[in-house]
Amino acid sequence: MSVPTDQITHVKIEDMGTFNEPWAMAFLPGSDGALITEKAGKLKFWQPGKTPLDVAGVPKVDYGDQGGFGDVVLAPDYATSKMVYLSWVTAGPGDTHGAVVGRAKLEFAANGPQLQGLTIIWKQAPRVTGRGHFSHRIAFSPDSKYLFVSSGERQKFTPAQDLTNNLGKVLRLMPDGKPAPDNPFAGKAGQSPEIWSYGHRNVLGLKFDAQGQLWDLEHGPAGGDELNLVRPGINYGWPLVSNGDHYDGKPIPRHATRPDLAPPAISWNPVIAPGDLIFYSGQMFPEWTGQAIIAGLGSQGLVRVAIDGEKAREIERIPLDKRIREVKQGADGALWILEDGEGGRLRKLTPG
């Protein structure tokens, strides 16, 4: 698709810290601090102007290629429970790997921050060989009742259409990791009760908008990155259809050829290689209200997208000249981004 050129947002950028392959962050309410995961296996507690602290009690992480520490999300009742949800990759027998989600209480002791009682509550199944497409993003529903997890198809293609497993799916769980009892395939023989939607490839963004609708942001193959409105029981088509092709040039049927499969709200070709996304609700950029702000790895900046019902359209790109892994909105409406890779900077963006 063509990139708009009639919108240019000028931003002031402040460097706020440097991390080793940062992947995700979560601001702590009532504090100026944040938790930041580093892919190789560290969880950092960051505060402005201070040296980031290692959080003790983190799990052993299976690190390599796309695998490692993933998301960090606070429980909806964090203010009282101090519960933190994390995702990471673990190793299995026979050189297999799979993502998990765990939760623990975050405590600030005299000797520093630490996780207490870390427990794994969900596992990607089956574990398979390879170290790609784990996805493992986490989102809580606006009513705080449900835990949503994205599970990539692990570069194995066909599991995304197989309802017996949880690969290539968006999953709807209870906060303790058990399947939500009224999920679309609950109680159906041979079908996973965890599944909310299926036919997904590699979902690296999972967020609710202000209307309570769930959206996912996923990598296509050679072309065809997607933003999808995620609805229960719906098949999003991978690997049967895509708006991109295989890396070896072999064509894939387009979404338009299969009206029985859900098309994306918007797709990109060339790809933007998305990281994460937010739906903006702050005051600093009021003209952005309700829009998706997407972290672009391949596009090396932010991509601003307006939502029109079940469709979306790109408005502008804000170039940052680095692969952007994560984007978050601060309490004051500022944007915070994490650059991908070694020496990835934490940067604060305000109107310039």
Q: Please state whether beta strands 42-46 and 202-208 pair in parallel, antiparallel, or not at all (unpaired).
A: unpaired
In angstroms, the CA 111 to CA 105 distance is 16
Catalytic residue among 133, 136, 219, 255: 133
- Whole-number Cα distances in Å, 116 to 30, 82, 86, 179: 21, 10, 13, 24
Q: Does 200 qualify as catalytic in the annotation?
A: no
**Where does 154-224 show beta strands of DSSP type E?**
169-173, 195-198, 202-208, 214-219
Give the C-alpha separation, 302 to 323, whole Å: 10
**Six token digits for residue 123:** 């596992």
- In sequence order, the 6+-apart residues with CB closer than 8 A to the CB of 143 are none
Name residue 349's amino acid.
L
Contact in structure between 37 and 72 (CB atoms under 8 Å): yes
CA atoms lying within 13 Å on the CB side of residue 313: 4
Residues noted as catalytic: 133
